[in-house]
Amino acid sequence: MNQATSQKITARSTFIVLNDKGLHTRPSTELVKCAASFDSHVQLSYRDYVVNAKSILGILMLAAERGAKIIVEAIGDDAENAITAILNLAQNKFNIKY
C-alpha cells in the first residue's frame, strides 16, 4: 500500500559569530528579520540552548560572543534558502557597521 507522504526539507549548517560585540540586540534583530522572512521553522543551537531564530529574546538568551559557533537548522519547504540567507547574513556581520 502506497501512501503519499509530504516530507519536509531539513537543512543544517554552522556559522561563527564575527561581530566584535557578539550577538547583541542589533545583529539579533537582523537575524530575526531574516529568519522571519521564511516559512520554515528555523532554530539556533549554542552550548546547551536551542532557540527559535524568529525570537529576539531566544537569540539574546544564547549570549553568543565573538567566535561562538552557532548551529542553524531549518525545517520546511524553503529550509535550504533560509540557511543560505542566514549564513550570508552572518558572513556580512549581520549588516552591522561600527
Domain parsing of the chain, residue ranges: 24-95
The CA distances from residue 57 to 3, 37, 68, in Å, are 40, 18, 18
pLDDT: which is higher, 98 or 63: 63
Amino acid in position 3: Q
Q: What is the chain's length?
A: 98
Annotated catalytic residues are 24
pLDDT digits (tens, 9 = 90+) for 13-27: 999 999 999 999 999
Identify the CATH number of the domain defined by range 24-95. 3.30.1340.10
**Is the whole-model pTM more than 0.85?**
yes
pLDDT bin (cut points 50, 70, 90) of residue 4 is: very low
Task: Write the DSSP symbol of residue 48.
Answer: T
pLDDT digits (tens, 9 = 90+) for 29-84: 999 999 999 999 999 999 999 999 999 999 999 999 999 999 999 999 999 999 99
